Structure 1
């Protein structure tokens, strides 16, 4: 890790414990030398398995262990234990920095997969620490140092319409509306086309989630088609006949997520943009029957989009959300 120009996280070595999904990975034997563990097993007549790759000098860790460390210990006895002690100091410093960065993130309201760029303070000297802390909370792989440097440069130099994006480890980080948006690459999805006939909630998929007409009258009679937006889509809403493109832009929906927002149609007429607006005819029926149209996305990023749609962009009087 030292040869890779790692920060204190890398210099701290393998963590004794870390989160893995809903569980934890624990390594209680990290502080015991390999020779001591072998001696313990031999004394109890217990067999063990050796990983044959541990002898392959093509791996950096093995080259250091078998070629470099013996030379270092010939000059500085007990070097391995001293290096381990230094790694422990780095681990303590890393833990303190993590706590400090997490507190700074919480003060900025940065909890989910979307964060205001100003909270990371690009150009202030600790952008890398704050970004790594935020990514760790999101339980995503650490971003390589080179990518972080490039991202900070883009954020400082790029205009809003450039929208820099960084991909790594199956994730993508995008810039839009003065915020960074984090997603798994596989979570970028278009709303599928579905027929909604039966009363009750309609589950679209594990990312876009569920639509539901909730109220004493249930949902409108007849078949409703749910789909992604189409080129040239328009809707007759409270503000008049408007393009879906303009409505989604004013609602602050990022361009790459606009295809995920469900559209409700009947006979080629656009009835609603889920979470944003309904047409006048459907809105009138919903008010008369005390019905709400609810969209419950399951993707954290889509949840963030829905929570941050400006109030003026949503037809609250027509029972949306």
Structure 2
């Protein structure tokens, strides 16, 4: 069995031909200890030449946490493996302790990974079965039921799970045969944690009734992963057809195309978009609200569906994806000389020098910038007469939720421009140099 584990481990690592360093998430427990020892055996036998580094995350949740850290450091010294320790404090932020610790752990791993690094984690077949059942209990779809992938990108590197096809008992037997030393987390026996409850109360009964069920569940997870890949491919095609567009604030999709899809494909498209934008996925309640409030033919833009940091609105046959709290302009007038960006709520107003067709002001003039006031009127260049800002903003199709925060530029009390929508009569540079205005949303990484 020892040679079989080593041989299969070697075959798994052969798929990581692009990795230049192998980092092991090392808790000191049985599973990660076996993983680290397997790597070191392959290294010592000359079958693995890449540098191996252990990473230990000390969550400081147990009184024994520092003892576990010392154990890991001693084991790494004995195995001649460098170790990097990250001490972290878990903040629940409304989530369970398990979820909060897991998220912080992956954040730490992500920050440590460099280009060309592969992070090896010791999840095995039993972990996969527990994950599948936990997600099934939460009502997950194909993506969730695909459970843990063998590999995926993480930070600047790649996460890899080479032990997914091994059972926990196989790893235990190997560790005993190799006379290994490992630590036992005192919380592993607590049934207060969902995963421990499954491990100690549920899984043994399933194994007794259906021996080898974990392996068959892994096949089901693989089928769910294939189904999810097909759904993602269809969602990407639908996103292209729906004309995803970057807006002044957020993004938008063609509402008519969304309405032409089945309800299932709409939900599939929205989940794919949220994944691409690295935003929380909508649950069934939000999808029902979207169907009822935003996808029915109507002309107004009053409806909104919110979850997490995002809100959805519709306007002029587009469905908009916006920050939950839109950037608003300050309540009082601000002076601006056009030389530096003007902070405007969470965004900014900029002025760029252009050769022609810009804003022209007398030398040394300062502008006053504020929000629109009741009764405000102006005459954009090329218009025959002045009109109220309310009417003009409708004609220029500025989204209704931005109209109360659009910056209005005044010179000696007279409106000279509104945002980057128009310049008023008498303040255009014509064929001469002037300033091009730009009203920007907060910077984003898309």
Instruction: List alignment gaps of at least 5 residues for structure 2.
Output: 1-134
Is contact 1:158–1:164 with CA below 8 Å preserved after alignment?
Answer: no
Indicate yes or no: 2:387 matched with 1:242: yes
User: Deviation string for 1:182-206 (max 9, x for gaps)?
Assistant: 12324x1112343212x52424258
Structure with higher Rg: it is: 2
TM-score (norm 2): 0.58
Pair 1:282-2:427 in alignment: yes
Distance 1:160 1:46, change over 3 A: farther
Is 1:194 matched up with 2:331? no
**2: CA distance, partners of 1:92 / 1:226:** 55
Question: 1:280/1:48 Cα in 2 relative to 1: closer, same or farther (>3 Å)?
Answer: farther
SS across alignment from 2:203: helix
Corresponding residue of 1:69: 203
Change (3 A) 1:75 1:50: same
Paired residues for 1:1-321 under 5 Å: 1-16=135-150, 23=156, 26-29=159-162, 31=164, 32-35=166-169, 43=178, 45=180, 47=182, 50=185, 52=187, 55-112=189-246, 113-121=251-259, 124-125=262-263, 126-157=265-296, 159-161=298-300, 163-186=302-325, 188-192=326-330, 193-197=333-337, 200-204=339-343, 207-215=346-354, 220=361, 221-237=364-380, 238-239=382-383, 240-283=385-428, 286-287=429-430, 289-295=432-438, 297-299=440-442
Moved more, 10-19 or 33-42: 33-42
- Structural RMSD (CA): 3.2
Q: How many positions carry a matched residue from both structures?
A: 295
What SS does structure 1 have at the residue aligned with 2:438?
strand
Aligned to 1:161, the other structure's residue is in SS state coil
- Residues in 2 aligned to 1:89 and 1:231: alpha-carbon distance in whole angstroms: 61
Q: 1:203 to 1:251 in 2, by over 3 A?
A: same
- Aligned mates of 1:51, 1:183 — CA distance in 2: 45
- TM-score, normalised by the number of residues in structure 1: 0.78
Change (3 A) 1:65 1:194: farther
